[in-house]
Amino acid sequence: MYSLIAPLLMRLPPEASHDAALAALHWVGRLQLDPLLPAPVVDPVRLVGLEFGNRVGLAAGLDKNAACIDALGGLGFGFIEVGTVTPRPQPGNPKPRMFRLPASRALVNRMGFNNEGLARLVDRVERRRWRGVLGINIGKNKDTPAERAVDDYRIGLEAVHRLADYVTVNLSSPNTPGLRDLQLGAALDALLAGLAASRARLADEQGRRVPVFVKIAPDLHDADVDAIATRLVEAGVDGIVATNTTIERGAVAGQPHAEEAGGLSGAPLHERALAVVARVRASVGASAVLVGVGGIDSAPRAQAMIEAGADLVQVYTGFVYEGPALVSDAARSIRDARLRSLGLRARGA
């Protein structure tokens, strides 16, 4: 079905296409048509106290406002991450702010954390039917000064703690001025200390400890990757999501829209994302869950991310270009490779 719809979607401007696809998914969920979709690949894995249906998840950014959780859950994802959500609604950057680079199976976006705010997202999450693992990705409002960023992140954590299976702290979008500076030095230490205090209080009040992940950028120097990964684990962070979009353009130089401001995602990011995943794993060993994301548009690339050290993978741009078949193909490939390594045979989906 996606092969029939995709050419129509690709004729629309990228953001209009994105909105049309989400609207269609919204109605799939509203009409409860998701049981008609193919059964997901079953490959359960237990990490940080959570049971993931399989190792392939949806990255944050596609469903910023948690409007389509039920329908997306029916597409076979082992877990879904919604957001990025900020404390207050914000419109994001002026349009146009999303661009296709079809020759490279890539996107450039400078969306700027456009979202409807925490209150709307929380209301939708409360009403979801899909009971798979749900992550909520939190960020800061654009007009919040960097020195007060921890306030926004604590507000976000406190709002979603009772509903999220895990929370991802987004410090790595290139589209919010100064955000990436929070990944380094004293700014990172202050943020982690503030979040740790909120986590401890919330765990006492609610009787549950929600895992916290941090999403890092691909454009860090290797030494900074090592230092950040180590610092995150020392601070009690449960997982690291590697990586966000890149500001590098070497792999797409000369293509239409290649020089647009924003973050590049898709196939050109894959090799750097693999390298960052491998460095993070070497730095932290088995002490943190590692989610690999960046340029996964095929089952072999998903498997390569697992082999580089990721426990889980996420897709976004590859999903846009390839459709839902990517989810099942990647999950099946990862499962079958694991079973082959154990000398077992896969059964069923």
Which are the catalytic amino acids?
173
Structural contact between residues 23 and 345, judged by C-beta atoms closer than 8 angstroms: no
Give the bridge partners for 291, in sequence order: 241, 312
Burial of 63 (0-12, 13-18, 19+ CB in 10 A): buried
Three-state DSSP at 55 gives coil
Three-state DSSP at 270 gives helix
- Burial string for 225-234 (b: 16+ CB within 10 Å, else e) reads bbbbbebbbe
Cβ neighbors of 226 (< 8 A, separation 6 or more) are 279, 282, 283
HSE-up of 225 (CA within 13 Å, CB side)? 21
